[in-house]
Structure 1
Amino acid sequence: MGSLSTLDAPLKYPIARRDESVVDNYHGVLVSDPYRWLEDPDSEETKEYVKRQAHVTESLLSTCDTRDKLGNRLQQVFEFERYQLPFKRGNKYFYFHNKGLQPFDVLYVQDDLDSDPKVLLDLNEDNNNVTVSLGLCSISEDAKYLAYGLRPGGSDWNTIQVMTIEDGNSLPDTISWVKFSNITWTHDSKGFFYSRFPAPNGETTDVGTETKIDVNQELYYHVLGTDQSEDVLCYKDPEHPKYRFSTYVTDDGQYLLLDIGETCDSVNKLYYLNISSIQSALQSAKDENTLLPFIKLVDDLDALYQYVANDETIFTFQTNKNAPKCKLVRVDLSKPSNWTDVVPESKRDVLVSAQAVNGNQLITCYLSDVKHVVHIRDLLTGCLLHTLPLEIGTVRINARRKDTTAFISFTSFLTYNITYQCELASQVPVMKIFREILVPNFDRSEFKTDQVFVASKDGTKIPMFIVSKKDVILDKSNPCLLYAYGGFNSSLTPHFSVIRSVLLKHLGAVFCLANIRGGGEYGEEWHKAGTFEKKQNCFDDFIACAEFLVSSGYTQPSKLCIEGASNGGLLVGACINQRPDIFGCALAHVGVMDMLRFHKFTIGHAWTSDFGCSEMEEDFHWLIKYSPLHNVRRPWENSNGRYIQYPATMLLTADHDNRVVPLHSLKLLATMQHTLCTSLKRSPQVNPIVVRIESKAGHCCCRPIQKEIDVAADRYSFMAKMLDASWTD
C-alpha cells in the first residue's frame, strides 16, 4: 500500500497550462502532448512554472526536521583528506587531492613519489565561480603540458585550455565547443587531437541550457601556440551526422587510432594511421583541404575494439566480437584479415579491462558475480601468471607498459579507498599499501554487506547487495533505500559513499544495490536482455528485488524508497507507474521520462541503441507501454477497494543538464500533478509529488562539494520524512 503522507495538508500545486491541440500521430496512434511548451527552457512561461514549483518544494523541505541535521553532519563527515589514484606521465607523478570541503579536487604533480608535491591546477582559486568544473584532463607524454577542459555550470560542453607543467603558466590556447571528446597528444608534444560540434544556436553565452540535437561532430588537430581557427580538420563524415570520434596514440607514438561510434552501444569502427611524420601529414591536409588518410581496419559497427598494446604492426585489442563477455585478440596490420585469440572469452566472468605493463605483461580485470578479480598475465601468450590478493570490491588500475609499477585502488561498500603499489619486476608481484583513506567516525565493523540472488518474474536470478548494521532486525521496521541503473552495458559494483554512510549510521537505513538486467554485470547478453522489447525485464527485476526486501523482513512498502539516476531515473519513473503499491518514496534523478521524443534533444539519439525509437513502428509499440510520461494512472481506480496512491515522489534535475534535458522531469511532473491531484476536487493522492531543480549544475557529476551536500540533505530529508525514519546520533 502506498505510504500515508505525514504532511498536515496536501500541497497546493501550480496549475500548468494544458495545450490539448498538441497531438502526434505515431503509426496511426494519436498521442497528446499537452505540456510540449515545457520543452522550451528559455520561455517566460517555463521559467515562471519552474519558479512556482521551486516554491512548493521549498515549503515542503522546510518542514523536514532532518534536513539541517543531514546537512550539518555531511559538512562534518566530508572534512577529511581524499586522494585519487596516482598516475605517471614522463617521469612525473600526478594525482587529485581534496583537503575536505574544497569545492573541487586539486591536481598535484611530483617529480617522484618521495618529493614534495606542488599544486598544478586548482579551480577553487576562483572563489566567485565555483560552478565551473573540470571535465577533460590530458597530460602530454613528456609531461611538459597539461590540456584541460572547463565545464560551465556542469554542462557537457568543454572549453580546453593549456598550461606548462614546469612553471604552471597558462598558454593563450583556447578551444571551444568540445563535447563527448578526449584529448590526445602526439608524442612530439606539438599539439593534440580533439573532437568538437558546431556552436549551438550561434555563439550563445549560457551554454548547457540548449536542447538542440548534437550532430556533425568533427575531429581536429590543434598546434600549440595557434588560434583555434587554424586547427586542422582531420576527419568528418557528413553522410553519418550522428557519428562521434575519439582517438588514441599508441604507446610507441607511431600510430593514431580513430574510434568511430554512433550510439551508446558497445561497438565501434576502428581506423588507423602511421603518424611517424604527423606534422607533414597535417600540413598536407591543411594545404590541400583534405582529411587525414586513415586506413580502415574495422569498418562495421558490430563489435567493440579497444586498444591494449602493440609491437610495431602487431596489435592486441579487447573485443566482444563473438564473445559477449569479451576476450583479447591479436592482429598484424599487414595481414588485417587474420585475427587470433590471445585470452579467450571466459565462460563465466566478464573481462572489464586489460592494460599492458612491465614490458610484456598484462593486468586483466574481470567481473565475477559483480566483484572485481585482477590477474597478471603474459602479454605474448595470454597465460595466467598470478591472481592479486584483493578483497571483495571494485578496483581501478593506473599503469603503463614501460613501468614496472602499477597503482591499484580498491573500494567497497564499507571501505572508502585503499591504493596499492604493485611492484611487477619481481617473480611474484609485491603488493604494498601506498595510501589508505579512512572516513572519520565510521566504524566499518558495525556494518555488514550481503549479496543475495533474487528470482525475477521470469525466474532469472538477479544479484543484489544489501548493506546494513550487523545487528539489523528483520521485523520490517527498517527504512530501506533500493538503488539500480540497468542500462547501456554499465555495471554497478561495490563502492563507498560518504553520504550513504550517514544514512546507515544516523537513519538506520538499509542500503540495497540491485544489479538488474540492462547493465553489463554478466556481459553483453545480460545487457541485451534489458533493451528494446525486453526493457520490461529491467522493471520486473527491480520490482522483484523490492518484493524480496519486504518478504524477507528487511522493510515494508511504506518504509521502502527507490532511487535511480538518468536511465535509473527512467527505471524509477516506470516502476512507480507499474507498482505504486510497494514503494513509500521515490527519488528519480535526471530521468529519461518521455520515451517518444527523447531522441530529438541533444545526445538523446545515441540512446536508441538501448531503447529503440518511436519513429519505428515496432519500437513505438513497446516504448508507449512503459514510457513514464505516458503511463501515469490513478491507481485507486482499479484497486479492488484497496487504498493505493503513488509514493511520495521527488523528481530531481538541473538547469544545465544538456544530456538528459530538464524537460523530461518537468513534463512528467506536470502530468503527475494534473492526473493525480489538480484535476480532481478531492484526490486520494496525499503523498507529495515535487521537483528539485539545481541551478548552475549538470548531469549528476562535477558538482562542487557544497552542492552535493545540499542536494543530499534535501532528497534524503524528504525520504526520511516520508518513511518516518528517525535520526539518531
Structure 2
Amino acid sequence: MRRALLTLLPLLFTTPAFAAGQSMEAAAAMPKLTYPETRKVDQVDEQFGVKVADPYRWLENDVRTDPEVAAWVAAENKVTNAYLASLPGRDIFKARLKQLMDYERFGLPEKKGNRYFYNHNSGLQNQAVLYVRDGVNGEGRILIDPNSWSKDGATALAEWVPSEDGSKVVYSIQDGGTDWRTLKVLDVATGAIASDTIEWVKFSAFAWAKDGSGFYYSRFPVATGEKKFQALNENQKIYFHKLGTAQSADTLIYATPETPRRNHQVQVTDDGKWLVITTTEGTDNRYEMTVIDLAAPKLAPRTIFKGLENEWSYAGNQGFNFFWVTNKDAPRSRIVSTNLAVRSAVPPIVEIVPQDKAVLDGAGIVGGKLIASYLADVKTEVRRFSLDGKSDGVVALPGIGKAAGFGGEADDPETFYSFTSFATPTTIYRYDVKTGQSTPWATPKVAFDPSLFDVSQRFYTSKDGTRVPMFVVRRKDVTGPAPTLLYAYGGFNISMTPSFSATRIAWLEQGGVLAVANIRGGGEYGKEWHDGGRLAKKQNVFDDFIAAGEYLKAEGVTSKDGLVIQGGSNGGLLVGAVTNQRPDLFAAALPAVGVMDMLRFDRWTAGRYWVDDYGYPSKEADFRTLYTYSPYHNVKSGKPYPAILVATADTDDRVVPGHSFKYTAALQAADIGDRPHLARIETRAGHGSGKPTDKIIAEAADDWAFAAKWAGLTVKPLQ
C-alpha cells in the first residue's frame, strides 16, 4: 500500500478497588513538594500590541551546550524520581510490563528477489533486529542487530530498504532518538558493511536504482555552530549515491533553492523507469508532483501537479499510465489516473475509483489489482478493484480493527498485511491476490487473555453538536465507574485507529478503563474532519476532548475524580491546553513531548512545518488564536490543577524539550494547588522513535503508577 511516505499468568481479576484519601480535597492535606528554584528573566516581547512575558526563555537553550539548563534538568529529575519511587504499585506495574512486553514482535516483510526482509524483536531486546529469509517459509537469519551498537541500547536501526534483487540493503542508524540518520550499505550474502557512509539525512525516503548501482535519498546541508541541534531544517535536496563512492561525489538530482522551505521525497517506480518526487512545504497533504524519465538521455524534471493544493500519492503505473490517490475534488479521496505520454502542462485526469462515504486511506497495484484501504467509522476496510476501476470484492479481515501493508510488485500476487486491535496483538498475514486467501505468517503470543476484555465504539456530542466517535476498552467484569485513561491526538490529519499496546494492557488488567477519542483535527473522516480542528478552528479539538471527558463521567464509565488524560506531541499540546481550560474535570494529566509554546514553535528544527495546522505566530490573526490556548502562556493561578507528570527527552530534536521545560517551570511557579506538577526528563532519547524497550517499560510503569495514585486505582499484586 502506497501513501506519501508486537502462558497467561493468573491475576486477581476483581472489580477495581479505589484507594481512599485521593480526592482533590484530601490531596490538599498532603505535604507540598519542594521544586527546584527556576531562575526568571525579565523577557517581555510585544506582538501586535500585546505584551507577552517569557520569564523562562533561557530554558530553550540546548542541554548539551548550556550547563545551567543541564543542572536544571538534573534537579528536576531528582525531585521527580524520588516522588515516583514512593508511589505504590510502580514495581508491580514494572514487573507486569516486563512480562507483557516479552513476546515476539514481527514487522511487515518486504520481498525482493526470493528474499524476505523483516524486523523482529524476541521480546525484551531494546531494539528490533533486521532478519532475512530465503523463501517465504525459509529459516530467518540475522542481518543487522543494533543491540550491540551502544551500552544503553539507545542506538537504533531505523529505516532500511533492500535493493531490487535483494542482494544489498541500505539502512539508517538513529542515535539517542534523534531525527538525523547516518546511512550505510550491507551485502546480504556476506554480511559485509561497505565503506559508503551518508550523513545529514533527515525525513528521507531511500529508493534503489533498478540495476542496484546505487540509491536516491534526501538530505539537508551541514549544520554547524552552537545552534546546530535546534537549527531550522531547510534546503532539502535529492541526491543519487553510486555504490563505492564518497558522499561528496553524489549527483544532485532535484532541488528548489528559490523555495528553501520545501521538502522533497523520492520514489522509483516498480518498472524502474521513472523517478516520482513528492514536494511538500508543511504537514498538510498538499503536494507538488514531479516525474523524471530515467530512460531519457538527460534527466529532466517535469512537474505535473503544481501549486501545493492537493494530495497526490503514487499508487503505481503501467507504462506511461500512472495511478494516484488524490483529494482533488474529493475530500475523502479517490483514485485517478494520468497518461504521461500526453505532453500537456497538466496531463488529463481520469477518475478510476470515485470518492466513497468511507475515507480512502491508501492504494497500490499488487498482482494486477488495485488494493485500496478505507477507514469506515475509524475501522479498516480493504477493497479490490481492477485497473479500470471495477469492483473486484474485498479482502476479508480477521475482525474489526486496523489493517496496514499490502505493498508489493504490480505483477506479483503475493503481499503482506498486519492486523491489530485494542485486544488483538499485531499479527502478520500473507495475502494471495490471485486466490483471495489470507494465511497467518507471524502470530504473536502475549501473556494475557484477550477474551477477558471488551472493546466498544461509542458516539458522543461535542459542544457545537458534532458527533464524535470514541473507543472504550475495559475488562468485561468492570461494569461500574472506574479510573479511566482518556487519550487523543487531534491534529495533522492523523487518525487514531484501533491498535494493540502491551503497556496499556497492564493498566486495563488492574481494572482501569481506556478511552480513545477520535476528535477533530485527525483524518478519521477526511479533509473536512481535519480542517474542522486546525488553524482558527483549533478550539474544536479541545472542545471535543473536554466533551469526551464529560461524556465518560455522565455515562458512568469513569469515577467522579478518576479521569486521567494522556497525549503526546500534538497530543501533549492538547493535554496542556484542556488542563488550563478545565482543570476541574481531570484527576491527572500526562502530557508527553508536547508543543507548549505556541508563539515560538516555528523557530526550531521541524517546527516550521507545523504552521499548516497551527498558523503563523508572526501573523496577527494566527497570533491571537494561538495566544488564547498556548499551554505555557495560559497557566493561571487561583484554581486547583490536576496532578501533572510532564514527559520529555533532553535531546528531542522534533519538539525541542524547551517547550516542556518552560511549561513545567510555569506550572511549578503558579498557585494551582498541592497536587504534584513534575517533569520526567529522559536522557539520550528523542521524540519517541528508537526508544529502547527498557525505557518504554520504565516510562509506562511511572505513568500508570502516577495515574493510579491520583485516579484512585489500587494496584493489586501479581498472583
Band the TM-score falls in, shorter-chain normalisation: over 0.9
Pairing of 1:537-686 with structure 2 (within 5 A)? 537-636=540-639, 645-676=640-671, 685-686=673-674
One-letter amino acid of the counterpart of residue 254, structure 1: K
User: Which moves more between the two structures, 237-246 or 604-613?
Assistant: 237-246
Asked if residue 695 in structure 1 is aligned to residue 683 in structure 2, the reply is yes
Cα distance in 2, alignment partners of residues 129 and 138 from structure 1: 26
**1:342 match:** 352
One-letter amino acid of the counterpart of residue 699, structure 2: V
Asked if residue 508 in structure 1 is aligned to residue 511 in structure 2, the reply is yes
Of the three residues 475, 482, 488, the one matched with 2:486 is: 482
**1:444 match:** 450
Asked if residue 419 in structure 1 is aligned to residue 425 in structure 2, the reply is no
One-letter amino acid of the counterpart of residue 323, structure 1: A
Of the three residues 527, 530, 533, the one matched with 2:530 is: 527
Shift of 1:217: 1.3
- Contact 2:88–2:715, Cα closer than 8 Å, also in 1: no
**1:308 match:** 315
One-letter amino acid of the counterpart of residue 199, structure 1: V
Cα distance in 1, alignment partners of residues 313 and 88 from structure 2: 50
**1:431 match:** 438
Cα distance in 1, alignment partners of residues 87 and 223 from structure 2: 41
Cα distance in 2, alignment partners of residues 275 and 717 from structure 1: 57
Q: Report the secondary structure of 1:260's partner residue.
A: strand
One-letter amino acid of the counterpart of residue 500, structure 1: R
Asked if residue 29 in structure 1 is aligned to residue 50 in structure 2, the reply is yes
One-letter amino acid of the counterpart of residue 701, structure 1: S
- Contact 1:373–1:390, Cα closer than 8 Å, also in 2: no
**2:271 match:** 252
Alpha-carbon distance change, 219 to 387 in structure 1, aligned in 2, over 3 angstroms: closer
User: Which moves more between the two structures, 133-142 or 241-250?
Assistant: 133-142
Pairing of 1:123-272 with structure 2 (within 5 A)? 123-126=146-149, 128=151, 130-202=153-225, 210-272=229-291
The Cα offsets for residues 415-444 of structure 1, whole Å up to 9 and x where unpaired, read as 102322222223xx122223322311x111
Aligned pair count reads 689
Cα distance in 2, alignment partners of residues 25 and 188 from structure 1: 58
Q: Report the secondary structure of 1:437's partner residue.
A: coil
One-letter amino acid of the counterpart of residue 568, structure 2: A
Of the three residues 496, 504, 511, the one matched with 1:492 is: 496
One-letter amino acid of the counterpart of residue 189, structure 1: G
Shift of 1:4: 4.6
- Contact 1:487–1:610, Cα closer than 8 Å, also in 2: yes
The Cα offsets for residues 464-521 of structure 1, whole Å up to 9 and x where unpaired, read as 00001112232x3x1110000000000010011101111111x211000000000000
The Cα offsets for residues 638-681 of structure 1, whole Å up to 9 and x where unpaired, read as xxxxxxx10000110001210000000000111111122xxxxx
One-letter amino acid of the counterpart of residue 487, structure 1: G
One-letter amino acid of the counterpart of residue 580, structure 2: N
Cα distance in 2, alignment partners of residues 142 and 123 from structure 1: 24
Cα distance in 2, alignment partners of residues 211 and 557 from structure 1: 43
- Contact 1:2–1:583, Cα closer than 8 Å, also in 2: no
**2:412 match:** 403
Cα distance in 2, alignment partners of residues 310 and 29 from structure 1: 54
Cα distance in 1, alignment partners of residues 366 and 219 from structure 2: 32
- Contact 1:378–1:385, Cα closer than 8 Å, also in 2: no
- Contact 2:80–2:679, Cα closer than 8 Å, also in 1: yes
Q: TM-score when scaled to structure 2? A: 0.94
Shift of 1:256: 0.4
Cα distance in 2, alignment partners of residues 2 and 332 from structure 1: 65
**2:5 match:** none
Q: TM-score when scaled to structure 1? A: 0.92
**2:4 match:** none
One-letter amino acid of the counterpart of residue 466, structure 1: V
Cα distance in 1, alignment partners of residues 206 and 152 from structure 2: 24
Shift of 1:389: 4.0
Pairing of 1:35-50 with structure 2 (within 5 A)? 35-41=56-62, 42-50=65-73
**1:375 match:** 383
Asked if residue 85 in structure 1 is aligned to residue 92 in structure 2, the reply is no
- Contact 2:571–2:594, Cα closer than 8 Å, also in 1: yes
Shift of 1:19: 1.0
Asked if residue 467 in structure 1 is aligned to residue 473 in structure 2, the reply is yes
Cα distance in 2, alignment partners of residues 118 and 371 from structure 1: 35
Please report the RMSD computed on the Cα atoms of aligned residues, expressed in angstroms: 1.6
One-letter amino acid of the counterpart of residue 413, structure 1: F
Shift of 1:7: 7.9
Alpha-carbon distance change, 583 to 449 in structure 1, aligned in 2, over 3 angstroms: same
The Cα offsets for residues 552-610 of structure 1, whole Å up to 9 and x where unpaired, read as 11123521100000000000000000000010000000000000000001110100000
One-letter amino acid of the counterpart of residue 287, structure 2: N
One-letter amino acid of the counterpart of residue 317, structure 2: N
User: Which moves more between the two structures, 661-670 or 125-134?
Assistant: 125-134
One-letter amino acid of the counterpart of residue 176, structure 2: G
Q: Report the secondary structure of 2:644's partner residue.
A: strand
Shift of 1:263: 0.0
**1:16 match:** 38
Q: Report the secondary structure of 1:299's partner residue.
A: strand
Alpha-carbon distance change, 662 to 408 in structure 1, aligned in 2, over 3 angstroms: same
The Cα offsets for residues 17-49 of structure 1, whole Å up to 9 and x where unpaired, read as 1112x1112112111111111111222221111
Cα distance in 1, alignment partners of residues 266 and 390 from structure 2: 26
Unaligned runs of 5+ in 1: 282-291, 637-644, 677-683
**2:6 match:** none
- Contact 2:205–2:217, Cα closer than 8 Å, also in 1: yes
Shift of 1:78: 1.7
- Contact 1:466–1:511, Cα closer than 8 Å, also in 2: yes
Cα distance in 1, alignment partners of residues 28 and 406 from structure 2: 49
**1:705 match:** 693
Alpha-carbon distance change, 368 to 489 in structure 1, aligned in 2, over 3 angstroms: same
One-letter amino acid of the counterpart of residue 35, structure 2: Y
Cα distance in 1, alignment partners of residues 245 and 171 from structure 2: 17
Unaligned runs of 5+ in 2: 1-22
One-letter amino acid of the counterpart of residue 685, structure 1: G
Cα distance in 1, alignment partners of residues 319 and 29 from structure 2: 69
Of the three residues 328, 331, 338, the one matched with 1:324 is: 331
- Contact 2:30–2:674, Cα closer than 8 Å, also in 1: no
Shift of 1:334: 2.5
Cα distance in 2, alignment partners of residues 368 and 415 from structure 1: 19
Alpha-carbon distance change, 165 to 120 in structure 1, aligned in 2, over 3 angstroms: same
Cα distance in 2, alignment partners of residues 651 and 13 from structure 1: 14
Cα distance in 2, alignment partners of residues 456 and 3 from structure 1: 29
- Contact 1:629–1:667, Cα closer than 8 Å, also in 2: yes
**1:357 match:** 366
Cα distance in 2, alignment partners of residues 409 and 94 from structure 1: 15
Q: Report the secondary structure of 2:381's partner residue.
A: strand
Alpha-carbon distance change, 708 to 298 in structure 1, aligned in 2, over 3 angstroms: same
- Contact 1:411–1:496, Cα closer than 8 Å, also in 2: yes
Cα distance in 2, alignment partners of residues 129 and 229 from structure 1: 32
Q: Report the secondary structure of 1:88's partner residue.
A: strand
Of the three residues 398, 402, 406, the one matched with 1:394 is: 402
Shift of 1:293: 2.2
